[in-house]
Structure 1
Amino acid sequence: MLLSAACSAAPADGGTGGAGGGTPAAPAPHSTSPQELCTSLITHWTAAILAGAPEAGLDYQAMGLSGGQNEILRDIVVAARAELRTGGPDAARALTAREAERRCADRYRTGTPTGGPW
Structure 2
Amino acid sequence: MLCSEDVSFKPKEHPAKDGSLVDPTATRRYSLVWSYEYLNLISAGKTEFFECLKIKPRLNEGGPRNSIKCQNGIYFITIDLTKFTFIRANLDPQNLANVEIAHGSCKLIGS
| Normalised-by-shorter TM-score class | under 0.3
More strand by share: 2
Could you tell me the TM-score, scaled by structure 1's length?
0.23
Relative to its length, the structure with more helix (as a share) is 1
Structure label with greater radius of gyration: 1
